[in-house]
Structure 1
């Protein structure tokens, strides 16, 4: 998959700074952008499942996810623990 036209500058920068061929740099950029374009609800559900699989409990999980969301490159809206629970459990 090639990067979209609006991503050309970043593809060129990644290729130049890493020495990667432009097609590989485009794939890397697409992967990174896809990660950051993940809808908040999908991110919350995935992280909740990952943290539960590590044996963590909800009182630790929800504050951690809230902090991660605040630190994302493109910050998600501030969500309360209750909102996070609703995303996970409906």
Structure 2
């Protein structure tokens, strides 16, 4: 069973928006779920997405490394080599 969202965070969202407590809790749960994606899955998904639009690996891997550093839920620091190994095995 998932952990219920932080009541203080839900209360803050309710106070700063027109959302009900139930709606605010749902928003918190959705945001947490979005950021709970495992690093390996994120790297593979972003690599495939960027490749679809014609980006090259020498552009992709530095970009993904920068994105990971800025994620709300911090990912471990990964080198470009580690990123390549996630994608290509």
* Same fold by TM-score greater than 0.5: yes
1:80 matched to 2:79? The reply is yes
Greater per-residue helix proportion: 1
Once the 2 structures are TM-superposed, how far is the Cα of residue 23 of structure 1 from its aligned partner?
Answer: 1.4
The total of aligned residue pairs comes to: 88
User: How large is the RMSD of aligned CA atoms in angstroms?
Assistant: 1.5
Q: What per-residue deviation string (whole Å, max 9, x for no partner) do you get for residues 16-67 of structure 1?
A: 2111111111111111111111111111111111111221111100000001
Once the 2 structures are TM-superposed, how far is the Cα of residue 6 of structure 1 from its aligned partner?
Answer: 5.0
Q: SS of the counterpart of 1:5?
A: coil
Once the 2 structures are TM-superposed, how far is the Cα of residue 87 of structure 1 from its aligned partner?
Answer: 0.7
Q: Distance in 1 between matches of 2:4 and 2:25?
A: 11
Q: Taking structure 2 as the reference length, what is the TM-score of the superposition?
A: 0.88
Q: Distance in 1 between matches of 2:86 and 2:59?
A: 16
Stretches of structure 2 that go unaligned for 5 or more consecutive residues are: none
Mapping of residues 5-84 of structure 1, within 5 Å: 5=4, 7-84=6-83
